[in-house]
Structure 1
Amino acid sequence: MLALTFSTGIVDAIGFLALDRVFTGNMTGNVVILGMAMTGATDLPVVGPLVALLMFFLGAMLAGRRLRGSPDGWSPATTVIFATVAICLALEGLAFLVFGATVFPYKTEAAAAVLGFVMGAQAAAARKVKVADVTTVVVTSTLTALAAESRFGAGTDQPWVRRVLAVTLILLGALAGAALLTVGLWVAFALSTAVTTAVLILGHRRMKTEDTADG
């Protein structure tokens, strides 16, 4: 899940820097952008963030439907969802590699829609896996808990290493995504696809190993 948090940083860098200031993982950002854009006094986009927001909701809803009845933790349904995320990222990266120079109507909005959908599905699956403080798409609550429960806050025991890693990895993911965009949009997609695929393979193998041990 920490690896997927890194991948989300890449995807959000793609959305914000290459898809006209659209957040495809961090929906709070889109809601704020929409609020400001609705004043009509800014040059902020409306269609892209709105499409990403709606598709994120749809992705999370359909993933929740697929996960219905599945046990908490990694399950076959989780594997299907993360495989779908990896495939969609790969196909979108391939599309930009092949057709990136071709201008066609609503290319940005279509790309944001796909990314919003898969990030919603990923977030729903991450909730089912249930790694505390690691939603893979946002770190606001993680950062709040890290500060509030620190030695200078409530002074309670906390999994601070995991929380620090979650915040750091989404930062590094955004850094990597921004850097790779200078090489090519498809390269950023390729790295996010590779990370998601690695998580998919390792998670599925672990599930199989645990099933065999239980059997």
Structure 2
Amino acid sequence: MADETETGAAPRGQRPRRPRDAGGVAAAVALTVATGAMDAISFLALGGVFTSVMTANLSLLGMSTASPDPARARDSAVAMAGYTAGTLLSGWIVRGPRPARRARCALTVELLALGGLWAVWAAAGGHPAGGRQLGLLAVAAFAMGGQSGLVRAVGPPGFSTTYLTGTLTGLLVDVARSGTVRRLSALLVVSLVVGAAAGGLLVARAARAAPALPAGLVALVLLGSLTSLARDARGRLWPHPP
């Protein structure tokens, strides 16, 4: 089974193609791991809903009306409201000139949200309940919505670090049609699973520190974005598709 081509020899007289930007790939992987961890934390400890997969929350909302399950409906609605607010704010931040600087601002907002979540979470001993639980769910969804809006706005078409159904579908279709594997797509899918596993383990064994994982990863991406290693030849922060 062949891998996708990421480098190649250029015809004589032309500049050779650059390999995929390692810094951009690392940032995408880190953000995807953070997404998986945050989804695991929200599902296991913040009401049994997701903070980045709004399709699933819409399904949960529909099922809650058929059950009926008022608590599930409420939690799904809170998550969707937080996600919507984060996406709108991030999209507003990154519009206009100097996209790299604006992307860093959007990452900063996400980091502040996750940092505040961690502080309140730790104050609750890693087991928030009642209104505090709902508030943290909204903040977590706000952070993931912000990340989704940011990547959608400044990344290549179809690229995501939060909702990966399309990524998985494209990966499988490429395998079926041509026997090729898009390594970045496969890496992001695996990263989501790894992040979810790590988030779940933290909730089970070190609950107070669980949100430190997504917050720390976003902080690393923000710090990395300040260096030239995080940008490609055109100054973009994200890897572009093959």
- Partners in 1 of 2:83 and 2:207 — Cα distance? 21
Match of 2:203 in 1: 181
Q: CA RMSD in A?
A: 2.5
Q: Is the 8 A contact 1:19 1:111 kept in 2?
A: yes
The change in CA–CA distance for 1:98 and 1:205 in structure 2 (over 3 A counts) is: same
Residue identity in the other structure for 2:75:
G
Match of 1:194 in 2: 216
Identity %: 27
Match of 1:154 in 2: 177
Q: Is the 8 A contact 2:126 2:207 kept in 1?
A: no
Q: Is the 8 A contact 1:60 1:124 kept in 2?
A: yes
Residue identity in the other structure for 1:38:
T
What's the offset of the Cα at 1:97? Answer: 1.2
Runs of 4+ in structure 1 over 2 Å off = 40-44, 99-105, 131-134, 183-186, 206-211
* CA deviation string 1:17-46 (max 9, x = no partner): 001102011111111110111113458611
* CA deviation string 1:155-209 (max 9, x = no partner): 1766x11011111000000000000112333312111111110011111222898
Gaps of 5+ in 1: none
* CA deviation string 1:48-91 (max 9, x = no partner): 111110111111111111111145xx611110111111122112
Give the structure-1-normalised TM-score.
Answer: 0.86
Match of 1:81 in 2: 106
The change in CA–CA distance for 1:132 and 1:162 in structure 2 (over 3 A counts) is: farther
- Partners in 2 of 1:20 and 1:3 — Cα distance? 25
Q: Is the 8 A contact 2:90 2:106 kept in 1?
A: yes
1:61 maps to 2:88: yes
Q: Is the 8 A contact 2:82 2:139 kept in 1?
A: yes
Q: Is the 8 A contact 1:52 1:112 kept in 2?
A: yes
- Partners in 1 of 2:230 and 2:120 — Cα distance? 33
Q: Is the 8 A contact 2:34 2:218 kept in 1?
A: yes
Match of 2:5 in 1: none
- Partners in 2 of 1:15 and 1:132 — Cα distance? 28
